[in-house]
């Protein structure tokens, strides 16, 4: 299984993972053979990528760190909150049994899956960014919290606040949030108010309120809304801020294309004691794969292959299924550990390069 841009799909390919509609319904099931109609519809709905079956990755099962159903349910709940909530019902939803169960489920699933790395590219349609983003930020924050040794109670508080960190955006005009071009100074000032709005909405839960209020604060004092510095910034807010930046950078937005995870991690790896406390950056990077499973990479040896997984705690040193030798000749596929082989990834091929190369190597 690998992720492929919908613009590169062709009839006969088979989906390897479900595609969900805007309301959490299953739009297309895994195993469906794509037709011209299906491909056109996926593109119309704004899906930039889907996961397809790939015989070059036989025997490799790519799993999310939480169950598909749990992630979908969380997205649905966040969508209901952010789309329809007044400040009054938003304050109430934090105590809703369904939301509480969802956060509990996410925490329990992560605690039972401690050796997994976040290496799955999530599928999102146009207009769905904010809802999926909220869930991804919660998951990433919790994985960092687990690395720091947090118990269930602290993880629950972190997860709830991270899931609702952007709730204040319900009070920011939609035309500003969805603007494709650069924001004016006045528009950016309005966007920045979401931190204060979020704090006010979540005031009945001090940890969640502080996360909403302070997730844009930065260790060097350059953040907002208070310009806090260093350890004056709540640790939960810093963890949420880290996850927020990473997911934003690696997601397609109306005003720019997504950055590869390796580029985002390179940026954040240098942010210790500048944007965020260094030990928190290290904890964050412990569980994030720089090269998601299915990424086509060129190694320092000159060989080329597909990433099959990444060992926990070694973000930039994936295990790779080698497909080509340094001269570009096809070889019998074999799996190696870049860490044990004293190799590293020289570069990750972009979508078009990877598609062209794997098309040449695909079994007939």
Structural domains in the chain (count): 3
Distance CA 214, CA 226 (A): 8
Q: Both 194 and 121 in a single domain?
A: yes
Please check the confidence at residue 133 and state whether its pLDDT lies above 90.
yes
The answer as to whether 172 is a domain residue is: yes
* pLDDT at 331 (0 to 100): 96
Average pLDDT for residues 124-150, to the nearest whole number?
A: 91
Q: Both 277 and 147 in a single domain?
A: yes
The answer as to whether 263 is a domain residue is: yes
* pLDDT at 94 (0 to 100): 67
Q: Both 275 and 316 in a single domain?
A: no
* pLDDT at 190 (0 to 100): 97
The answer as to whether 61 is a domain residue is: no
Would you place residue 53 in the very low, low, confident or very high pLDDT band (cuts 50, 70, 90)?
Answer: very high
The answer as to whether 58 is a domain residue is: no
pLDDT 10s digits, 19-36: 988 777 888 999 999 999
Give the residue numbers spanning the domain of 331: 296-361
Name residue 307's beta-bridge partners. Answer: 320
Would you place residue 97 in the very low, low, confident or very high pLDDT band (cuts 50, 70, 90)?
Answer: confident
State how far the alpha carbon of 178 is from the alpha carbons of 182, 191, 261, 351, in Å.
Answer: 11, 11, 24, 26
The answer as to whether 291 is a domain residue is: no
Please check the confidence at residue 253 and state whether its pLDDT lies above 90.
no
Q: Both 37 and 150 in a single domain?
A: no
Could you tell me the two tokens for 189? 């000032």
Q: Where a domain ends, among 30, 53, 76?
A: 53
Q: Which CATH number fits the domain that encloses residue 27?
A: 3.90.105.10
pLDDT 10s digits, 266-304: 999 999 999 999 999 999 999 999 999 999 999 999 999
Q: Both 148 and 258 in a single domain?
A: yes
Q: Both 266 and 303 in a single domain?
A: no
* pLDDT at 91 (0 to 100): 59
Please check the confidence at residue 87 and state whether its pLDDT lies above 60.
no
* pLDDT at 89 (0 to 100): 54
The answer as to whether 95 is a domain residue is: yes
Q: Where a domain ends, among 257, 285, 313?
A: 285
* pLDDT at 329 (0 to 100): 95
Contact (CB, 8 A) for 240 and 137:
yes
Q: Where a domain ends, among 245, 266, 285?
A: 285
Average pLDDT for residues 9-22, to the nearest whole number?
A: 91
The answer as to whether 62 is a domain residue is: no
Distance CA 20, CA 94 (A): 25
How much is the pTM?
Answer: 0.93
Average pLDDT for residues 152-158, to the nearest whole number?
A: 97
Please check the confidence at residue 169 and state whether its pLDDT lies above 80.
yes
Give the residue from 104, 30, 28 showing the smallest Cα distance to 63: 30
């Amino acid at each position: 299984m690998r992720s492929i841009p919908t613009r590169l799909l062709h009839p006969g390919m088979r989906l390897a993972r479900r595609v969900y509609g805007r309301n959490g319904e299953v739009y297309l099931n895994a195993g469906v053979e794509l037709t011209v109609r299906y491909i056109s519809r996926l593109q119309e709905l704004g899906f930039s990528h889907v996961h397809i079956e790939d015989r070059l990755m036989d025997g490799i099962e790519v799993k999310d760190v939480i169950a598909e159903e749990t992630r979908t349910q969380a997205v649905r709940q966040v969508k209901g909150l952010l789309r329809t909530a007044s400040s009054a019902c938003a304050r109430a939803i934090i105590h809703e049994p369904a939301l509480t169960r969802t956060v509990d489920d996410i925490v329990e699933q992560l605690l039972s899956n401690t050796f997994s790395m976040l290496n799955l590219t999530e599928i999102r349609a146009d207009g769905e960014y904010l809802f999926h983003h909220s869930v991804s930020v919660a998951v990433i924050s919790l994985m960092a919290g687990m690395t720091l040794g947090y118990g269930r109670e602290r993880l629950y508080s972190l997860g709830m606040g991270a899931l609702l960190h952007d709730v204040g955006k319900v009070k920011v005009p939609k035309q500003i949030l969805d603007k494709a071009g650069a924001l004016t100074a006045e528009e950016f000032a309005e966007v920045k108010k979401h931190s204060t709005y979020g704090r006010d909405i979540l005031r009945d839960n001090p940890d969640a309120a502080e996360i909403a209020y302070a997730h844009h604060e930065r260790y060097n004092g350059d953040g907002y809304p208070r310009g806090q510095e260093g350890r004056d910034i709540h640790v939960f807010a810093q963890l949420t801020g880290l996850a927020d930046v990473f997911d934003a950078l690696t997601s397609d937005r109306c005003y720019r294309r997504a950055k590869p995870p390796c580029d985002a991690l390179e940026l954040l790896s240098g942010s210790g004691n500048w944007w965020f406390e260094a030990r928190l950056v290290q904890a964050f990077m412990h569980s994030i794969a720089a090269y998601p499973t299915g990424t086509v990479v060129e190694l320092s040896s000159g060989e080329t292959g597909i990433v099959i997984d990444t060992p926990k705690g070694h973000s930039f040193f994936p295990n790779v299924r080698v497909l080509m030798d340094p001269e570009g000749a096809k070889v019998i596929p074999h799996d190696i550990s870049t860490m044990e082989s004293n190799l590293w990834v020289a570069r990750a091929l972009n979508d078009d390069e990877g598609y062209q190369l794997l098309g040449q190597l695909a079994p007939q």
